[in-house]
């Protein structure tokens, strides 16, 4: 049985990113594997032994509530320490960073990603496409970004992809104070998402895993403790059609 944790869907469920957990469950079941979604709501303890975790997007108040709960509970941090895959979208990316800006103040994040989030000069909204940087991925990554966060990666984090269309993590105005680190200013400008340890995060809505089946299967393989190449391929023409339409 593959256990898929859907973390705080009651506060981080604004943009339909709950669909990522559904995609993981369905792609597992289509391969004849048993899979279940474990919904963990605000105030519930976060189990540290699930096979994979999904976090979605939300507004400022929701982000603050999520960060406070996840820091106090500690379950997700223990899961990350154990190497269990975690997939975070938009506000989820910001919440898992070192700090983020919400409701006019800087809020402490969970600290699973070496990243800080301030504010963009202009909202990033529209299609975003990137070339994957994460080893194991080869297909272009596609999604819909809608955020005001300017996320700067620290030396311990790497981008998920390099932007070929759209804004990505940040804009030029927010990069003025960036110095040093393993991610250069030019790389920060093209960066989309973040990868650190077992955590993969992105600003891509869509939901992201419906639009990027290779990424979904990478997470599924990690949840199972196997190589991506060992998963039986799925012939889904409708997904291929969706990707072709979105990449246009």
Contacts of 131 (CB under 8 A, 6+ apart): 140, 141, 161, 162, 164
Has residue 181 got a pLDDT over 60?
no
Q: How far apart are the first and last CA of the chain?
A: 38
- Classify the C-alpha dihedral 52-99-195-123 as positive or negative: positive
Domains of the chain by start residue, with CATH: 2-247 (3.40.50.880)
**pLDDT value of residue 67:** 98
Has residue 145 got a pLDDT over 80?
yes
Has residue 180 got a pLDDT over 50?
no
Has residue 147 got a pLDDT over 60?
yes
Q: Is 123 flagged in the annotation as binding?
A: yes
φ/ψ (deg, to 5) at 117 = -125, 120
CB atoms within 10 A of CB 180: 9
Asked if 188 and 224 count as a contact pair (C-beta separation under 8 A), the reply is no
Asked if 202 and 167 count as a contact pair (C-beta separation under 8 A), the reply is no
Average pLDDT over residues 30-39: 97
Query: Counting Cβ atoms within 10 Å, is residue 239 exposed (0-12), middle (13-18) or buried (19+)?
Result: middle
Helix (H) or strand (E) holding 62: helix 60-73
Has residue 9 got a pLDDT over 90?
yes
Give the distance from CA 180 to its chain's centroid: 25
**pLDDT value of residue 173:** 74
Joined tokens for residue 234? 């799925």
What is d(CA 19, CA 37) in angstroms, rounded to the nearest whole number?
11
Q: What is the pLDDT of residues 69-105, one digit of tens each?
A: 999 999 999 999 999 999 999 999 999 999 999 988 9
Has residue 218 got a pLDDT over 70?
yes
What average pLDDT does the chain have? 94
Q: What is the pLDDT of residues 52-78, one digit of tens each?
A: 999 999 999 999 999 999 999 999 999
Average pLDDT over residues 196-222: 97
**pLDDT value of residue 177:** 53
Average pLDDT over residues 20-32: 97
Residues present in the chain in total: 248
Rounded to two decimals, the pTM is: 0.95
φ/ψ (deg, to 5) at 64 = -65, -45
Has residue 200 got a pLDDT over 80?
yes
**pLDDT value of residue 172:** 74
- Classify the C-alpha dihedral 71-144-2-59 as positive or negative: positive
Asked if 159 and 169 count as a contact pair (C-beta separation under 8 A), the reply is yes
Instruction: State the residue for tokens 């932007």.
Output: 163
Question: Residues with catalytic annotation?
Answer: 90, 205
Has residue 223 got a pLDDT over 50?
yes
The proportion of the chain whose per-residue pLDDT surpasses 70, expressed as a percent, equals 97
What is d(CA 120, CA 126) in angstroms, rounded to the nearest whole number?
15
């Amino acid at each position: 049985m593959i256990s898929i944790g859907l973390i705080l869907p009651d506060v981080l469920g604004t943009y339909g990113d709950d669909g990522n957990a559904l995609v993981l469950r369905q792609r597992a079941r289509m391969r004849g594997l048993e899979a279940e979604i474990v919904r963990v709501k605000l105030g519930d303890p976060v189990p540290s032994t699930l096979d994979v975790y999904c976090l979605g997007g939300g507004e400022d108040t929701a982000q603050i509530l999520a960060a406070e709960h996840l820091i106090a509970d500690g379950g997700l941090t223990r899961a990350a320490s154990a190497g269990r895959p975690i997939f975070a979208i938009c506000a989820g990316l910001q919440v898992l960073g070192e700090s983020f800006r919400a409701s006019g103040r800087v809020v402490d994040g969970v600290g699973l990603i070496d990243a800080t989030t301030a504010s963009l000069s202009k909202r990033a909204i529209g299609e975003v496409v990137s070339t994957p940087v994460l080893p194991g991925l080869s297909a272009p990554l596609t999604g819909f970004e809608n955020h005001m966060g300017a996320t700067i990666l620290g030396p311990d984090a790497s981008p998920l992809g390099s932007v070929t269309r759209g804004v990505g993590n940040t804009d030029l105005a927010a990069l003025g104070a960036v110095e040093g680190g393993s991610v250069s200013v030019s790389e920060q400008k093209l960066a989309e998402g973040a990868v650190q340890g077992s955590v993969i995060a992105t600003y891509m809505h869509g939901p992201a895993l419906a639009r990027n089946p290779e990424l979904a299967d990478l997470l599924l393989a990690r949840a199972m403790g196997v190589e991506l190449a060992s998963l039986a391929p799925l012939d889904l023409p409708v997904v291929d059609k969706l990707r072709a339409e979105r990449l246009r």
